[in-house]
């Protein structure tokens, strides 16, 4: 079955992920007093209170719109694939990036957090083997919010 590309959905996805990048960068600059529930282990020394309102606005719909776009993509994908093909495709497209994130992207984040907390005073290369001891926050192994 031929399926037509939905460029409108592509653009919604691009815009939402651009906003998601702004969201995560903004978390470093929003003050603790304004948004205590967004407890980040690392914060910038300079806090920008004017970011509170845009961050609150984005917070209301960032995940629901991601789930909506994902659901629409799943609907269209399942219209041209069997359930087994869909699961195999999802496994290949998501599991390898998940492992990459767990072993390459997240460990430096935990390392920087430990440096800021003062619980680590070694180089990253000396720290990396301890990445696999214990589950975060007590240990160093984390998949963060991947």
* pLDDT at residue 87 in the model: 94
* pLDDT at residue 31 in the model: 72
Tokens coding 117: 């907390």
Long-range contacts (CB closer than 8 Å, 24 or more residues apart) made by 20-26: 20/62, 20/66, 22/58, 23/55, 23/58, 23/59, 23/62, 26/51, 26/54, 26/55, 26/58
Output the tens digit of pLDDT for each of the chain's 146 residues. 556 788 888 899 899 989 989 888 888 888 755 555 556 667 788 888 888 888 888 888 888 988 998 999 899 889 889 999 999 999 999 998 999 999 999 999 999 989 988 999 999 999 999 999 999 989 999 988 78
* pLDDT at residue 33 in the model: 52
């Amino acid at each position: 079955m031929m399926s037509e590309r939905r460029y409108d959905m592509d653009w919604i996805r691009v815009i939402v992920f651009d906003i998601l990048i702004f969201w995560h960068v903004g978390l470093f600059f929003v003050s603790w007093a304004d948004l205590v529930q967004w407890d980040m282990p690392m914060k910038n020394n300079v806090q920008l209170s004017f970011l509170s309102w845009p961050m609150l606005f984005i917070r209301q719909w960032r995940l629901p719109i991601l789930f909506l776009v994902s659901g629409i993509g799943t609907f269209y994908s399942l219209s041209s694939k069997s359930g087994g093909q869909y699961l195999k495709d999802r496994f290949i497209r998501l599991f390898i990036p998940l492992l990459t994130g767990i072993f390459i992207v997240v460990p430096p984040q935990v390392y920087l957090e430990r440096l800021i907390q003062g619980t680590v005073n070694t180089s990253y290369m000396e720290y990396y083997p301890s990445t696999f001891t214990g589950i975060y926050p007590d240990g160093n192994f984390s998949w963060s919010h991947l």
